[in-house]
Amino acid sequence: MIMEGGQDNERTRHYYKIDKIKESVLQSLTRLGEKIVNNLENGVFPEIQLPLRATSNIIYDPNLRQYVLGDKYILRTTKNVKHLRPFAQVIWISSFAKKLIKAGKTSTLRDTYYVAIGEGIDFEDQDESDEAIVELESLLGHPREDLNIFPEERASIYGDLVIEYTVPGFRGKRVDLSSHPDGFAIGPALTTAEFIKCGAEVLFVIEKGAVFARFVEEGADKKYKALLIHTAGQSPRNARKLIRRLNEELNLPVYIFADADPFGVHIASVLIHGSAISAHLRELNIPDAVWAGLYASDIIKYKLPSMKFTEQDAKRLEELKRDPRYQTDPWKRELAVFSKIGRKAELEAFSRYGLEFIVKEFLPERLAELTKR
């Protein structure tokens, strides 16, 4: 598919969307502040209503095809002395986010904690400031990235896609993501960029750096007209956001390749179903993405070198088997195979058949299987 989003009005629309999000967040923050100031001026104890983020309020939405919060709320009121501290913390985070957006700057969770300390805000530790940020996310219905609070970059991307930046200092500049074979780090600039021209027809998401490098070296991007994303383990949120955008805006089908072990299964599942801790957010999961392996049954089918489960693997597997997200195939089927064989294998294990095997043999076989279904 050749996508030409580079028309002037298209481009303006993307900038408009980016600016609109910031504007909407700023408005919500301003309204929150005004409400509290009004309360105080009228001699009323300020209160905020927060969606309840407990298991009892996490439900699966079949339309959105992800876990979302139900309609239970908790009331945080300044009438209650015990509520004062977390109330003030959320308000401070709100004011910090407003400053960030206005200044066009970004921060990390850790930086935010230290800025709070510097301003004399009483956070016991980073866990407490992280929690206040999550509360603000749930209050506004915006992920922290929209508040300019980003995770550390770690994931990377490679392939036939030209992007145009929207971040200050780079707005309007373009870069071709096939121009650096070691990959482009996925940070705030890439996550918010506009897609200008895409020669790819599919997206392969890969857990391991070594396998990402193998896919580049064996030309998987050209053979399959594929973009390649390396998540470096559990995918950081900026990479999840980018994958979601590539899937939605460019209609690229997404295939996920992770190790055949309980952690690899979880990596694929979080990308597809979202995570319970992000149930208060949208647009961070990719419901249409397909778990493409490694399956437990691949260990048998391909006679892969494998390792015995550790105690931790076994424990993790039992947890997954009880999780509602894994009650359908291929999840259920493969978890049963794991239980039976009690062994795990890595993506690199295909190298037992030579370095070319994974791209030349395994990949076309798996894609044929998955598209047949």
State the DSSP code for 24.
H
Position 77 contacts a copy of itself (CB under 8 A): no
Q: Which of residues 116-145 bind a copy of itself (CB under 8 A)?
A: 117-118
Determine which residue in the list 47, 111, 130, 361 makes contact with a copy of itself, applying CB under 8 A.
111
Exactly one of 12, 27, 80, 108 binds a copy of itself (CB under 8 A); that residue is: 108
User: How many positions of this chain bind a copy of itself (CB under 8 A)?
Assistant: 52
Q: Give the three-class secondary structure for 315.
A: helix
What is the x/- site pattern for a copy of itself, positions 322-361, by CB under 8 A?
Answer: ------------------------x-xxxxxxxx------
What single-letter amino acid sits at 200? A
CA distance 200 to 250: 9
Decide: 66 and 273 in contact? Cβ < 8 Å.
yes
- 114 assigned to active site: yes
How far apart, in whole angstroms, are the C-alpha atoms of residue 345 and residue 338?
Answer: 11
Give the Cα separation of 357 and 57 in Å (integer).
Answer: 46
Closest distance to a copy of itself from the beta carbon of 67 (Å)? 28
Residue 153 touching a copy of itself (CB under 8 A): yes
By the rule CB under 8 A, 293 interacts with a copy of itself: no
Does residue number 95 form part of the binding site for a copy of itself (CB under 8 A)? no
Please state, in angstroms and rounded to a whole number, the distance separating the CA atoms of residues 59 and 32: 27
Q: Give the Cα separation of 297 and 341 in Å (integer).
A: 9
Tokens describing residue 340: 């039976």
CA dihedral 296, 299, 300, 306 (to 10 degrees): -120
107 binds a copy of itself (CB under 8 A): yes
Cα distances from 225 to residues 112, 182, 199, 245, in angstroms, run 40, 18, 7, 18
Please report whether residue 72 would count as binding a copy of itself according to CB under 8 A. no
Applying CB under 8 A, does 266 fall inside the site for a copy of itself? no
Considering the rule CB under 8 A, would residue 259 count as an interface residue with a copy of itself?
no
Q: Mask of contacts with a copy of itself, 215-244, x by CB under 8 A?
A: --x-x------------x------------
Q: Are strands 66-69 and 58-61 parallel, antiparallel or unpaired?
A: antiparallel
DSSP state of 168: T
Nearer to a copy of itself, 186 or 279 (CB): 186
The reply on whether position 301 binds a copy of itself by CB under 8 A is: no
Active site residues: 114
Binding residues for a copy of itself, per CB under 8 A?
105-108, 110-112, 114-115, 117-118, 150, 152-154, 156, 165, 167, 169-170, 173, 175, 179-190, 208-210, 213-214, 217, 219, 232, 305, 346, 348-355
